[in-house]
């Protein structure tokens, strides 16, 4: 017989257990809404039993986030951005729709009904007078898949214009173009399991340590344990480069030169996989032909590295059995972005580093759901299910599911991001609808962009926060319910799909992006197309369009994903099989591809270099990029103390030799000019950058600093294949700042006063 004491003890244990179980059930499992690593998070409500409620500066209770150990991609790890996300959810939110007739006027608060009425009438008017192509929507890799999918149906199906593009055009469109051309389809072949299988990681144009920190943690841990090698190619000695076995600090814009140079050596040494080339590829001889130009001396000279370093890189490629390439913006954001992606792929085909564990060409996606955007057709030339607008069968398949007559979808690709700006400039765009992106900071040649935005007859800006730089150019602002306030799906870089559940109520009158698009669609007369009442229904319809495609996700649904994340391809018939819970799915493991011949295609691109090389008047190459703590245009991270302390202001990184030659000191404020604009920034003198190259972080728009916008300097030349702008390089001069000390801006103060001004004017109407 158990004693009473034991029973009391036991019941206490059980009640503790029940309590902790209850606590456990209060966690919402979700995916981090920042970068494309796609870490799993558990979010805890602000009020946990026995703990004091933390509040943000506006007094809102703060949600706590921590890593989800059960998530296959991140295994419980998070970086500072994911860990502090809770602190950014409620401050500075846009709470209700507002409109104004012209940009000189203050906003006035309106009902959703009034806002919808206005938007619908402006769209109808534009379509009647200038046709559907006078309407443009500019969306984002921060949409959930349901948002993306609904927007495609509204624009490409109902309105009949392919003028939907996303900030992904500025981000990974070169990777998409490269994969499509080389393999016959988009889709990154490797997965994160390869990070732990490789014996040589080739990181080119990616500061993985700062921008994909958890991918980097996994890779570094594995390489350290197994004495694996890491090559990093970056003009800057980043945190990533510091961890490398070999760092090649090439001149910006010499990627294709370097890659062809490595291929030249491999071919010369006979270190190629003849069998793979013969049985799985085509176009090898054309590639081999151009390689004769890329002798080590020429390549080393052009790239600004030593021939020994070049040979060392080629040797690591030749000696390693499993080479995994990782890349991001240092490759994609270039006028030869697609060529560089295809030349990376050439190296993999040449050496047979394809479709095997630990090997393959892996483009790291930047945003949390850039991959979902690709799946849902979220660029101006594509359609859901990895289809393209130019293909009549693809259009028909989509029209059928959308219950629209044949011929509804245009065969002509729509305007790409920069082309939308040109359309505004030329007066060809009457309605410009921006959602979940902040182009008044992130577009190239920002003064020209702002001028075009000022020329827009009617701009809608749908954002979670207010003000943003882009709301300053809007006629209508629509409050979006953001991550945590709507249930939807995101896909990370390794094709792992996570259900992001709503865990809190939307602020004010905010609504989910997909609901806003659907309501406008219904009011335009497309009731049958927008019948879905839940995002789960929207997702089901999207998934049906992936059947039989490379990205087959017919085994996925909100219900199934409620049990945990899954990796595609996952056809319906596999949901119950063990395949469903495997997270090491690679593409093209059988050496067959989706090109007409079934073979992967070599490409033969000569190096072109920069669109705007340095010259005697503008002798420096400026490059731009990211810092570990900040996210893009700071609408969230700019309000998190821990992060603003880490990165208080923008700066210009310069080599000590260059600083000395110009007679500048560390922290001195200088003026940096390109042919388009200028910034005034304090110098950060550091050996971690090549001589002749300078660097500015991209995070400071005009609400966050005075004359600190990286894109004041950049140009708008694009890769002719992917239409991705060359945001990574332009020519600049550096001058002393005349007269007057730098006005150090109190960022919060400046935002508060802007916010107050906008609200006062809203109320005063
Ligand atoms: N902390 C943080 N993380 C992020 C983001 C963020 O805002 N903050 N944003 C996310 C998004 S959307 C993206 S797209 C990714 C971007 O991730 P990354 O591409 O890693 O980031 P960037 O800093 O833009 O650029 C990477 C590197 O390219 C180098 N580079 C410049 N020119 C060249 C060149 O010609 N050749 C080579 N080889 N390298 C060059 C730069 O010096 C820089 O270190 O990050 C994602 N993760
Ligand atoms: N010079 C230079 N310029 C660059 C780059 C560079 O490397 N150098 N990188 C480019 C790249 S790769 C990228 S991805 C872009 C990023 O540039 P942007 O997309 O302009 O940057 P974000 O700050 O991420 O903007 C996202 C916006 O969406 C809002 N938002 C957040 N969640 C939601 C939601 O659920 N719904 C709605 N409607 N809104 C929401 C945020 O408040 C924010 O205003 O910048 C590009 N520009
Ligand atoms: S690595 Fe990326 S996804 Fe993971 S916590 Fe950091 S920002 Fe979020
Ligand atoms: Mo990006």
The 3-class secondary structure across 302-314, one letter per residue, is HHCCCHHHHHHHH
Q: For residue 718, what are the β-bridge partners?
A: 725
Residue 698: nearest ligand to its CA?
2
Residues framing ligand 3 (Cβ under 6 A)? 32, 34-35, 37-39, 74, 78-79, 81-82, 213-214
In tens, the pLDDT along 497-518 reads 999 999 999 999 999 999 999 9
In tens, the pLDDT along 177-186 reads 999 999 999 9
Q: Which helix (H) or strand (E) holds 280?
A: helix 274-280
In tens, the pLDDT along 700-755 reads 999 999 999 999 999 999 999 999 999 999 999 999 997 544 443 444 444 444 44
Name the nearest CA neighbour of 729 among 320, 493, 444: 444
* CATH architecture for residues 26-88: Single Sheet (2.20)
Centre of ligand 1 to C-alpha 26, Å, is 36
Q: For residue 463, what are the β-bridge partners?
A: 479
Binding site membership of 370 for ligand 2 (Cβ less than 6 Å): no
Nearest residue CA, atom 24 of ligand 2?
Answer: 632
Higher pLDDT, 54 or 234: 234
Choose the residue to mutate in 632, 637, 696, 712 for probing ligand 2, maximizing ligand atoms within 8 Å of C-beta. 632
Residues framing ligand 1 (Cβ under 6 A)? 35, 171, 204-207, 210-211, 233-236, 238, 252-253, 255, 328-330, 366-367, 623, 625-626, 628, 630-632, 728
Nearest residue CA, atom 4 of ligand 3?
Answer: 39
Distance CA 229, CA 198 (A): 9
Choose the residue to mutate in 34, 203, 205 for probing ligand 1, maximizing ligand atoms within 8 Å of C-beta. 205
Q: How many CB atoms lie within 10 A of CB 267?
A: 18
Centre of ligand 1 to C-alpha 603, Å, is 25
Query: What is the average per-residue pLDDT within 392-398?
Result: 98
Tell whether domain 98-169+368-531 is in CATH 3.40.50.740: yes
The token pair that represents 398 in the structure block: 């989509």
Contact status, residue 215 vs residue 223, Cβ threshold 8 Å:
no
Residue 364: nearest ligand to its CA?
1
By residue count, the chain amounts to 765
Spatial neighbors of 506 by CB under 8 A, at least 6 apart, are 481, 485, 486, 512
Instruction: Give the pLDDT of residue 429.
Output: 98
- Report the 3 state secondary structure along 557-603: CHHHHCCCCEECCCCHHHCCCHHHHCCCCCCCCCCCCCCCCCCEECC
Instruction: Give the pLDDT of residue 46.
Output: 86
**Which range is least confidently modeled, 334-348, 477-491, 737-751?**
737-751
Query: What is the average per-residue pLDDT within 351-372?
Result: 98
For the cut 50, the answer to whether the pLDDT of residue 334 exceeds it is yes
Hey, which CATH number is domain 620-752, 2.102.10.10, 1.20.1330.10, 1.20.810.10, 2.40.40.20?
2.40.40.20
- 3-state secondary structure at position 212: coil
Dihedrals φ, ψ of 394, to 5°? -60, -45
Pairing of strands 229-233, 246-248: parallel
In tens, the pLDDT along 120-160 reads 999 999 999 999 999 999 999 999 999 999 999 999 999 99
Q: For residue 286, what are the β-bridge partners?
A: none
Question: For the chain, how big is the Rg over CA atoms in Å?
Answer: 26
Q: For residue 685, what are the β-bridge partners?
A: 654
Contact status, residue 122 vs residue 460, Cβ threshold 8 Å:
no
CATH class of 173-364+596-601: alpha beta
- The phi-psi region of residue 653 (left if phi > 0; otherwise alpha if psi is between -120 and 50; otherwise beta) is beta
Choose the residue to mutate in 30, 34, 138, 167 for probing ligand 2, maximizing ligand atoms within 8 Å of C-beta. 167
In tens, the pLDDT along 528-562 reads 999 999 999 999 999 999 999 999 999 999 999 99
Instruction: Give the pLDDT of residue 51.
Output: 78
Pairing of strands 566-567, 669-673: unpaired
Spatial neighbors of 548 by CB under 8 A, at least 6 apart, are none
Distance CA 164, CA 435 (A): 11
Instruction: Give the pLDDT of residue 152.
Output: 98
Instruction: Give the pLDDT of residue 579.
Output: 67
Nearest residue CA, atom 47 of ligand 2?
Answer: 442
Q: What mean pLDDT, rounded, does the chain reach?
A: 93
Centre of ligand 2 to C-alpha 140, Å, is 7
Distances (CA, A) of 600 to 182, 189, 214, 278, 655: 6, 13, 31, 11, 42
Name the nearest CA neighbour of 187 among 546, 493, 531: 493
What residue segments make up the domains of the chain, in order of their start? Answer: 26-88, 98-169+368-531, 173-364+596-601, 620-752
Nearest residue CA, atom 8 of ligand 3?
Answer: 82
- 3-state secondary structure at position 454: helix
In tens, the pLDDT along 199-249 reads 999 999 999 999 999 999 999 999 999 999 999 999 999 999 999 999 999
For the cut 70, the answer to whether the pLDDT of residue 62 exceeds it is yes
């Amino acid at each position: 017989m158990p004693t009473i004491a034991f029973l009391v003890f036991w019941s206490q244990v059980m009640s503790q257990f029940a309590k902790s179980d209850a606590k456990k059930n209060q966690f919402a499992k979700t995916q981090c809404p920042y970068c494309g690593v796609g870490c799993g998070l558990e979010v805890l409500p602000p009020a946990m039993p026995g703990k004091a409620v933390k509040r943000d500066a506006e007094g809102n209770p703060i949600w706590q986030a921590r890593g989800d150990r059960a998530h296959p991609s991140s295994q419980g790890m998070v970086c500072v951005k994911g860990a502090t996300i809770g602190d950014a959810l409620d401050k500075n939110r846009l709470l209700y729709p507002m409109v104004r007739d012209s940009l000189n006027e203050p906003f006035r608060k309106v009902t959703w009904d009034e806002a919808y009425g206005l938007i619908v009438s402006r769209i109808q008017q534009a379509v009647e007078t200038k046709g559907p192509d006078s309407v443009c929507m500019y969306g984002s890799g921060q949409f959930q898949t349901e948002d993306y999918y609904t927007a495609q149906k509204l624009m490409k199906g109902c309105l009949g214009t392919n003028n939907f593009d996303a900030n992904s055009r500025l981000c990974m469109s070169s990777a998409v173009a490269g994969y499509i051309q080389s393999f016959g389809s988009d889709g990154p072949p490797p997965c994160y399991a390869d990070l732990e299988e490789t014996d040589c990681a080739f990181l080119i144009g990616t500061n993985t340590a700062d921008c994909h920190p958890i991918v980097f943690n996994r890779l570094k841990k594995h390489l350290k344990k197994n004495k694996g090698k890491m090559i990093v190619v970056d003009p800057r000695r980043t945190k990533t480069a510091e961890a490398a076995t070999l760092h090649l600090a090439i001149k910006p814009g010499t990627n294709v030169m370097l890659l062809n140079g490595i291929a030249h050596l491999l071919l010369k040494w006979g270190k190629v996989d003849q069998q793979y080339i013969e049985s799985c590829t085509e176009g090898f001889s054309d590639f081999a032909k151009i390689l004769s130009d890329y002798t080590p001396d020429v390549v080393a000279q052009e790239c600004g590295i030593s021939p020994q370093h070049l040979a060392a890189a080629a040797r690591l490629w030749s000696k390693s059995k499993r080479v995994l390439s990782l890349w991001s913006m240092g490759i994609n954001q270039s006028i030869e972005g697609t060529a560089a992606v295809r030349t990376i792929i050439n190296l993999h085909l040449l050496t047979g580093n394809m479709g095997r564990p630990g090997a393959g060409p892996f483009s790291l996606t930047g945003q949390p759901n850039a991959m979902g955007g690709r799946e849902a057709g979220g660029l101006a030339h594509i359609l859901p299910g990895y289809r393209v607008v130019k293909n009549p069968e693809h259009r028909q398949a989509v029209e059928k599911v959308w219950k629209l007559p044949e011929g509804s979808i245009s065969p002509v690709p729509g305007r790409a991001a920069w082309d939308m700006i040109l359309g505004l400039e030329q007066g060809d765009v009457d309605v410009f609808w921006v959602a979940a992106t902040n182009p008044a900071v992130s577009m190239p040649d920002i003064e020209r962009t702002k001028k075009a935005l000022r020329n827009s007859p009617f701009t809608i800006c749908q954002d979670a926060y207010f003000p943003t730089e882009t709301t300053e150019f809007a006629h209508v602002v629509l409050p979006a319910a953001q991550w945590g306030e709507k249930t939807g799906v995101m896909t990370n870089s390794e094709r792992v799909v996570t259900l992001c559940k709503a865990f809190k109520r939307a602020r004010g009158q905010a609504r989910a992006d997909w609901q806003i698009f659907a309501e406008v669609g219904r009011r335009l007369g497309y009731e049958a197309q927008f019948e879905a009442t839940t995002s789960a229904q929207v997702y089901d319809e999207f998934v049906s369009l992936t059947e039989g495609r490379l990205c087959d996700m017919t085994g996925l649904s909100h219900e199934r994903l409620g049990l945990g994340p899954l990796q595609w391809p996952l056809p319906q018939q596999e949901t119950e099989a063990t395949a469903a819970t495997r997270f090491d799915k690679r593409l093209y493991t059988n050496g067959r591809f989706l090109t007409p011949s079934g073979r992967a295609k070599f490409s033969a691109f000569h190096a072109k270099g920069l669109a705007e090389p340095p010259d005697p008047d503008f002798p420096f190459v400026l490059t731009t990029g990211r810092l570990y703590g900040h996210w893009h245009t700071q609408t969230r991270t700019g309000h998190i103390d821990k992060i603003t302390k880490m990165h208080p202001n923008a700066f210009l990184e310069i080599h000590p030799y260059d600083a000395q030659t110009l007679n500048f000191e560390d922290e001195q404020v200088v003026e940096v000019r390109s042919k388009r604009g200028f910034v005034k920034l304090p110098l950060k003198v550091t050996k971690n950058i090549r001589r002749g190259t300078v660097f500015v972080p991209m995070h400071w728009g005009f609400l966050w600093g005075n004359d600190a916008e990286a894109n004041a300097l950049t140009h708008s030349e694009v890769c002719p294949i992917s239409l991705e702008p060359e945001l990574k390089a332009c020519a600049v001069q550096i001058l002393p700042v005349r007269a007057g000390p730098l006005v150090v801006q109190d960022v919060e103060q400046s935002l508060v006063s802007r916010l107050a001004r906008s609200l006062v004017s809203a109320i005063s109407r």
